[in-house]
């Protein structure tokens, strides 16, 4: 009886996935033929992996007509979780053997996540005030690669993304393009919304989200049972589902992408990865998020002493704002991150497992070079006080409340 019920459940689930795929096919058939050139924005996360492998299968089996050109753009942030990065490499390698043009896009050296933080001194991003990372390490490099691609072709590119909102949201027309909501991937809404509006791409880029209506269980089923099967292409997608905690993760807010993402509430993906015996040696990476948190503390940063005059006249709205990271904090964090990477890699060598490559020697050298050159972000020069120094309070209108106690009294 239980087996029969289970079978029924499996059948239902398969049917639901097949219906979802059918809608995907319809959207591709409706919008695909009007564009000769397609691009797929691939982040290595679950939704874009499902989209990419599904489209390849649909094209291979003739259910969707192959466009004149098809290019895959993979945003390599250098901060990807290792099993996801390996799965992405395997998928990209397979695409190349199929004759698909693959572009791996990366931020230029000084804009990479760790170089920007530790070399230039910009604090790690957070949800409130400073959300620079997605644009800088994912969207801008993607935009540059697309502009380059467009130079070589006539007409528009249809950019296919893995944006997913789930069935009910689509039905209710509650299309919310933010990232990291209801299990959406970091960057996905931006790909859909920001890319087509970007100056160099305006009018030449259309976006399509063919799995917009998929629920997360469809994604798991596709990645776990369908895509890895030779009949559906034999893709290396099982690792990706496992990295998110698999089926059990359901619609959790899995902002999977960067190791220790400072914007995620919890390290869900990393926890799911290190819980697997093969990846347990990556446990030291759990130390990365606390480093980002520590760096944001006032003692590790500079602060404007008072009102800040703006170039075009007037003053900044935020007097005495907290700013960049001190050199001591940057060097200390660099040592800690290298030690964490070193601990993972010692174990990796011992166990014959893949190495972590979050910070290579070139990036480390560049960080040290920028620190030696006393590099600060714009509008800072290093003469500002440390963030936890006791200062008179300066208000927006320029009035000053002198401190009630001197530093010695405290």
Beta bridge partners of 7: none
Measured between alpha carbons, how far is 239 from 41 in angstroms, rounded to an integer?
Answer: 20
CB of 160 to ligand SF4, least distance (A): 20
CB of 269 to ligand SF4, least distance (A): 9
**Closer by beta carbon to ligand SF4, 189 or else 284:** 189
CB of 134 to ligand SF4, least distance (A): 4
- The answer to whether 218 and 61 have CB atoms below 8 angstroms apart is no
The four Cα atoms 82, 86, 88, 90 give a dihedral, to 10 degrees, of: 180
**Closer by beta carbon to ligand SF4, 87 or else 157:** 87
**Closer by beta carbon to ligand SF4, 56 or else 216:** 216
CB of 115 to ligand SF4, least distance (A): 14
**Closer by beta carbon to ligand SF4, 138 or else 296:** 138
**Closer by beta carbon to ligand SF4, 54 or else 261:** 261
**Closer by beta carbon to ligand SF4, 125 or else 387:** 125
Measured between alpha carbons, how far is 253 from 242 in angstroms, rounded to an integer?
Answer: 15
**Closer by beta carbon to ligand SF4, 75 or else 236:** 75
CB of 45 to ligand SF4, least distance (A): 9
The contact set with ligand SF4 (CB under 6 A) reads: 79, 125, 133-134, 137-138, 186, 255, 257-258, 261, 263
List b or e across 86-106, with b for residues whose CB sees 16 or more CB atoms inside 10 angstroms: bbbbebbebbeeeebebbebe
| Long-range residue pairs from 333-341, CB within 8 A, at least 24 positions apart, any chain | 333/117, 333/118, 333/291, 333/294, 333/295, 334/118, 334/364, 334/367, 334/368, 336/287, 336/291, 337/114, 337/118, 337/288, 337/291, 338/364, 340/284, 340/285, 340/287, 340/288
CB of 271 to ligand SF4, least distance (A): 15
CB of 5 to ligand SF4, least distance (A): 39
3-state secondary structure of 179: coil
Q: Could you tell me how many helices (H) and strands (E) the chain has, helices first?
A: 14, 9
Measured between alpha carbons, how far is 303 from 316 in angstroms, rounded to an integer?
Answer: 13
**CB neighbour list of residue 154: distance below 8 Å, 6 or more residues apart:** none
**Closer by beta carbon to ligand SF4, 257 or else 387:** 257
Beta bridge partners of 315: 309
Residue 300: alpha-carbon gap to chain centroid: 26
CB of 170 to ligand SF4, least distance (A): 24
């Amino acid at each position: 009886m239980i087996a029969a019920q289970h079978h029924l459940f499996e059948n239902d689930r398969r049917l639901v996935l097949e219906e979802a795929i059918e809608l995907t096919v319809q959207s591709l058939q409706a919008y695909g033929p009007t564009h000769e050139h397609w691009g797929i924005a691939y982040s290595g996360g679950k939704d874009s992996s499902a989209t990419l492998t599904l489209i390849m299968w649909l094209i291979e089996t003739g259910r969707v007509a192959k466009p004149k050109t098809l290019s895959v753009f993979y945003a390599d942030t250098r901060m990807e979780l290792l099993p996801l990065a390996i799965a992405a490499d395997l998928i990209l390698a397979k695409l190349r053997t199929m004759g698909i043009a693959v572009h791996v896009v990366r931020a230029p050296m000084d804009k990479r996540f760790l170089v920007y933080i530790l070399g230039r001194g910009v604090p790690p991003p957070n949800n409130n005030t400073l959300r620079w990372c997605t644009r800088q390490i994912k969207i801008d490099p993607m935009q540059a690669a697309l502009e380059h691609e467009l130079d070589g072709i006539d007409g528009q590119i249809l950019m296919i993304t893995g944006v997913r909102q789930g069935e009910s949201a689509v039905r209710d027309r509650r299309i919310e393009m933010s990232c990291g909501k209801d299990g959406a991937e970091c960057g996905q809404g931006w790909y859909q919304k920001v890319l087509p509006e970007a100056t160099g791409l305006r009018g030449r880029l259309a976006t399509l989200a063919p799995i917009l209506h998929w629920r997360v269980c469809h994604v798991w089923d596709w990645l776990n049972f369908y895509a890895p099967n030779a009949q559906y292409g034999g893709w290396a997608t099982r690792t990706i589902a496992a990295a998110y905690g698999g089926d059990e993760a359901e619609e959790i807010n899995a902002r999977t992408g960067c190791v220790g993402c400072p914007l995620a509430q919890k390290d869900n993906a990393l926890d799911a990865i290190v819980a697997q015996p093969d990846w347990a040696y990556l446990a030291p990476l759990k130390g990365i998020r606390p480093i980002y948190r520590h760096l944001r503390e006032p003692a590790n940063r500079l602060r404007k002493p008072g009102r800040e005059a703006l170039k075009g006249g007037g003053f900044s709205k935020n007097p005495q704002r907290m700013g960049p990271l001190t050199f001591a904090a940057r060097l200390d964090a660099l040592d800690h991150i290298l030690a964490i990477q070193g601990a993972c890699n010692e174990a990796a060598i011992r166990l014959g497992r893949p190495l972590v490559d979050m910070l290579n020697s070139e990036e480390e050298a560049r960080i040290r070079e920028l620190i030696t050159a006393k590099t600060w972000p714009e509008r800072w020069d290093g003469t500002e006080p440390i963030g936890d120094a006791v200062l008179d309070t300066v208000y927006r209108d320029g009035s000053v409340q002198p401190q009630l106690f001197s530093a010695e009294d405290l």
